[in-house]
């Protein structure tokens, strides 16, 4: 008997089938996910293996990993009672949305931005309001303030992915102080910019900051992120987080990363220098527009069909991100900043693509 039915799903779910997906052809030079192009040195990986080897693998991790949270808090400049740790910042974004969004509530998501925000908001059945980035794709405080009036949540990535734009700290403080909404500031690319909203979280109950170790700290494969909230809000968000969400391997790697953050910072400085070099070179190409970026990637337009340019570059072994399907980005591509030789290969592949794809 065939009595199967899919009616058990929440109403909005069939429309979201597939979730977050990505077309990733095999290319030698991978500049499509804003990862850190430098893997960990072998001796640091070895250090992590050794830390984990002697831990009991048959036991659960600590229920409240107090020492671990304290180390993370000290690293990011927050108080331990403000910090929640998670399996990537995506997990904490999920916990934030589960805690705050439901049908009948509004969330402001400026577009274009990180696609996961809308995906999760749709999953929660919330009403999504798109506002907050002007024609130059810079944050527009007035538009944000207006849109946030009757919203439960406002999500701002600063630096924003994929535009590279940042929110002005004075504007942010004003908006947070005068609003009843929760302001989620996603600082995934903080280290490439340097300005944080963490100080606001000490006094304001309606702001949370998300951080990740996936980018500057080169730990995307191990999945670690954290949230900083007001000490009264943090335990409420904690109710939406699964127990034992961090494994002992990730925790050992994060401790090692924190202890070696100074070494890793040299890479961040190099990436920032390379970002400026690549942007300068791109601006020399006729017809290319590059958006200013404070992150480890650049958004650019070539005056040509982006999918065709993307394909021509893939044929040369260079993978960038085709973001032309994002709202308002019909002409754009995004490139992550890699090692100098990878960036040179990107510039060469783009030059080639611009000769084979008509303007």
Interface with ligand PLP by CB under 6 A: which residues?
A: 34, 88-90, 114, 157, 161, 186, 188, 212, 214, 220, 225
Q: Which is nearer to ligand PLP, 147 or 185 (CB)?
A: 185
Question: Is 169 in a helix, a strand, or coil?
Answer: helix
In the complex, minimum distance from the CB of residue 333 to ligand PLP, in angstroms, rounded to a whole number: 16
**Least distance (Å) between residue 53 CB and ligand PLP:** 26
Residue (217 or 347) nearer to ligand PLP, CB = 217
The string of DSSP codes covering 103-124 is TT-EEE--SS--HHHHHHHHHH
Between CA 169 and CA 294 the distance in angstroms is 14
CB of 167 to ligand PLP, least distance (A): 13
Six-digit token string for 62:
């600590």
C-beta of residue 207 within 8 angstroms of C-beta of residue 177: no
Nearer to ligand PLP, 111 or 161 (CB): 161
Looking at beta carbons only, is 82 or 89 nearer to ligand PLP? 89
Checking 190-196 for CB contacts under 8 A at 24+ apart, the result is 190/216, 191/215, 191/216, 191/217, 191/265, 191/268, 192/159, 192/216, 192/268, 192/271, 192/272, 192/275, 192/294, 192/295, 192/296, 193/158, 193/159, 193/166, 193/294, 193/295, 195/158, 195/166, 195/169, 196/77
| Cβ neighbour number for residue 185 with a 10 Å cutoff | 24
Closer of 164 and 306 to ligand PLP (Cβ): 164
Cα–Cα separations (whole angstroms), residue 99 to 182, 272, 325, 342: 11, 36, 30, 41
How near is the Cβ of 151 to ligand PLP at its closest, in Å?
19
Distance in Å, CB of 215 to ligand PLP, minimum: 7
Task: Compute the distance between CA of residue 59 and CA of residue 61 in angstroms, rounded to an integer.
Answer: 6
Query: 186 or 322: whose CB is closer to ligand PLP?
Result: 186
Closer Cβ to ligand PLP, 9 or 244, answer by number? 244
Pick 89 or 302: Cβ nearer ligand PLP: 89
Least CB distance to ligand PLP at residue 353 (A): 24
Question: Min. distance of Cβ 209 from ligand PLP in angstroms?
Answer: 12
**Nearest distance, CB of residue 161 and ligand PLP, angstroms:** 4
Distances (CA, A) of 245 to 64, 239, 274: 11, 13, 36
């Amino acid at each position: 008997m065939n009595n199967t039915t899919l009616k058990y799903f929440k109403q909005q779910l069939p429309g979201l089938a597939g979730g977050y997906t990505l077309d990733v052809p095999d290319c030698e030079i991978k500049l499509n996910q804003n990862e850190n192009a430098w893997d960990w040195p072998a001796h640091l990986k070895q250090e992590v293996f050794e830390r984990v080897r002697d831990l009991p693998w048959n036991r659960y991790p600590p229920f409240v990993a107090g020492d671990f949270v304290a180390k993370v808090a000290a690293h990011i400049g927050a108080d331990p009672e403000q910090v929640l740790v998670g399996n990537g910042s995506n997990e904490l974004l999920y916990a934030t949305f589960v805690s705050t969004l439901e049908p009948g509530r509004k969330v402001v998501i400026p577009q274009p931005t990180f696609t996961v925000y809308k995906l999760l908001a749709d999953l929660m059945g919330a009403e999504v309001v798109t506002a907050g980035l002007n024609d130059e794709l810079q944050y527009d405080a007035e538009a944000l303030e207006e849109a946030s009036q009757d919203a439960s949540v406002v999500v701002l990535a600063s630096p924003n992915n994929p535009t590279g734009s940042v929110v002005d700290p004075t504007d942010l403080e004003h908006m947070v102080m005068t609003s009843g909404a929760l302001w989620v500031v996603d600082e995934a690319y903080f280290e490439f910019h340097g300005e944080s909203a963490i100080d606001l979280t000490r006094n304001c109950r309606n702001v949370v900051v998300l951080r990740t170790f996936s980018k500057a700290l080169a730990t995307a494969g191990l999945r670690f992120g954290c949230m900083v909230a007001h000490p009264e809000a943090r335990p409420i968000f904690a109710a939406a987080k699964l127990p034992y969400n961090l494994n002992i391997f990730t925790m050992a790697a994060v401790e090692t990363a924190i202890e070696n953050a100074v070494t890793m910072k040299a890479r961040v400085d190099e990436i920032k220098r390379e970002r400026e070099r690549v942007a300068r070179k791109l601006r020399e190409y006729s017809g290319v527009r590059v958006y200013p970026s404070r992150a480890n990637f650049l958004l650019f337009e070539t005056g040509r069909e982006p999918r065709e340019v993307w394909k021509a570059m893939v044929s040369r072994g260079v993978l960038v991100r085709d973001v032309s399907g994002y709202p308002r980005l019909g002409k754009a591509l995004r490139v992550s900043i890699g090692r100098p030789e990878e960036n040179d290969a990107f510039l060469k592949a783009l030059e080639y693509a611009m000769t084979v794809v008509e303007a």
